[in-house]
Amino acid sequence: MMTASTSPSAPFAGMMAAYMMSTPTLNDIHEAQDRIAGHAHRTPVFTSRSLNEQAGASLFFKCENLQRVGAFKFRGATNAVRSLADEDASKGVATHSSGNHAQALALAARERGIPAYIVMPQNAPAVKRAAVAGYGGEIILCESTLAARESTLSEVVRETGATFIHPYEHPMVIAGQGTAAVELLEQAPGLDMVITPVGGGGLLAGTAIAVKGLAPSIRVLAAEPAGADDAHRSLRDGQLHPSVDPQTICDGLLTSVGEIAFAVMQEHVERVVLVEDDAVVAAMRLIWERMKLVIEPSAAVPLAAILGDDLDVSGMRIGVILSGGNVDLGALPF
C-alpha cells in the first residue's frame, strides 16, 4: 500500500480535460459489447408477479447486482481498460474511489495484466479497502476531502504515467454502461419505459443513448433520492447544479452529475423522479423478500419511484436496472 502527499503536481482539472471527448454514440456502445464480451456477465432479467400487482405494471428487472464485482460498474471499467492502446495500458490505470468503481477498475486491470492505482480516503471502510486489494488494486491513502483525493490522484498519475479512468465522466465508461440497456431491450422486448438510478450519471447516460438509439419511442426516466437531488434540479433548471451536502442512505448516488451525462439527460431523459429514503428502504426490502435478490439502497430507488404517487405507470411494460448489490449485511436498514 502506497502513501502520497496531497500536493498536486498537475491540476486535476487539466487531467480531466485531457480525455474529455465527445458524447459516446450507439456505435460506441455496440463496440463496447464486443470489447467486454467474455469478461462481463450478460446478466438476467427477472420479473415478480407480486411487484407487478403492486405497481399495476409489468416490471422487468435487469440484475446488475449479479454482475461481476456486484455492480454495473464492471462494464464501463472493462470497456475503458480494454480501449487503451498497449503502450498506454502498460503504465496502468488510476482513479479515486471508495465504491464500486474502485473494485471494478481493479479487476478489469488485473484481467488485462496491468496495474491499477486506487486513491482512497483514509476513513474508507476496511471492507472496501479489502475488496479493492482483493481484486488486485494498489491502494494509495489520502485525507478524506475531495481536494485531497484529486490532488493525490494527480500526483500518482504524474509519477506512474497511468491513465486516469473517471468513474462516470468518461466516454468509454459511459459506453460500457450502456451495454446493460442493449441487453435489456433484447431480453424484454416491447418496453414502454426504462428507468435507472442517477448519481454521477454514467449509467443513465449510457442507458439513454442505447434506448433512444434502438427504440426512440421508449421513455427514459431516472430516479434520485430527495436528499441528493442535484440531477433533478439540474434538469429542471437547464444548468448543472452540484451535489452539496447530500443526505441519503443511497451512498452510491452522492456525487454530482457529470457534464457528459447532463448533456445526454437534456436531450433524452424525460424527468428525474425524487423519492424519500423511507420509500427506498421499503422498496429495497420488497426486492429482498419477494424476489430473493440482494440489492443495495441505490438500486432500489427506481422501484421506489414506480411505487410512489408521482409517476403514473398503469399498464406499462417497464425496464428497471438494478444497479448493484454491494451492501453491508451487518448494517441493513431494515
Catalytic positions, written as ranges: 73, 98
Quote the CA–CA distance of 83 and 296 in Å, as a whole number: 29
Amino acid at 297: P
Quote the CA–CA distance of 301 and 257 in Å, as a whole number: 16
CA distances from 302 to 163, 193, 297, 314 (A): 33, 12, 10, 15
Quote the CA–CA distance of 120 and 317 in Å, as a whole number: 40
Class of residue 180 by CB neighbours under 10 A (exposed 0-12, middle 13-18, buried 19+): buried
Quote the CA–CA distance of 312 and 242 in Å, as a whole number: 29
